[in-house]
Amino acid sequence: MARHGGRGWYGRVAAAALGVTAVAAAASVWTAQAGQPGGEPGRPGASARTAAPTARPVAESIAHASDGGAHAVNITIDDGPDPTWTPQVLQLLRENGVKATFCMVGPQAAAHPDLVKRVVAAGHRLCDHTVSHDTGMDHKSEAYQARQINDAERQITRASGGVRPMYYRAPGGAFTPYSRHLAASHGMRPLGWNVDSKDFERPGTDAIVNTVENELRNGPTILFHDAGGDRSQTVAALRVLLPWLKQQGYSFGFPVR
């Protein structure tokens, strides 16, 4: 999967939040790391496994399929919520009767709890997209990965009024065996994508539409963004693509869990 974006904008937004929560995260249930009794490379130790999260664990493998069947697509929206673009995306989804999965950056969710609640109230699903959107986090320590995932999960859950994320999407696809195991043990299925719309690069509305139409044969899960800069091209592309997908006979589902 292509690695897009980077820390930049997300790092500035998240820096304060990450510093404040680092100490608390160190005291989380995931203090037992690989190398401790019962541990193995890329896995938490035995004591971490016994301190089970409240959510029921799900599969650790990266999900790409749709629960809607062979002719369904999954619309996934990353990096928000954003007060300018998320409401426009929500309006288009509502007009077309489409449910989507919103992969949220923790500090963005914390800053805009009203939007998180609107997403939930409209029947969409939540996804943990970490604190800092660090596309190089697969090269960082397990403690760092745990802070990124756990802190964002808490921020999103608090902003939603108690609704937990159902998925975890690593920024830029930077998954590790440890991060997948950690997320799955918290009830968040690791979530990939099959079609990168390239909207993050703002190549133009027509280019985004063409990319999705041409690459849809790769699989059902389509990646879009509602934050991280000007997303007017994404909104315009969704205005074209959502009706087009329905005209092609596609239904809309959620990523498998």
Active site residues: 78, 225
Tell which residue, 63, 59, 39, 60, has the closest CA to residue 49.
Answer: 39
Q: Which two tokens stand for residue 91?
A: 């309006």
Find all residues with CB under 8 Å of 12, minimum gap 6, and list them: none
Q: Specify burial of residue 15 (Cβ count, 10 A radius: 0-12, 13-18, 19+).
A: middle
- Pairwise CA distance, residues 255 & 192, whole Å: 9
Quick one: residue 162, left, alpha or beta (phi over 0 = left, psi -120 to 50 = alpha)? left
Alpha-carbon gap, residue 195 to 158, rounded angstroms: 31
Is the bond into 81 cis (omega within 30 degrees of 0)? yes
Residue with tokens 């087009």: 244
DSSP E strands, 100-236: 100-104, 125-128, 167-168, 189-190, 195-196, 221-225
Q: Give the amino acid at 226.
A: D
The Cα 11–Cα 101 span in angstroms is 23
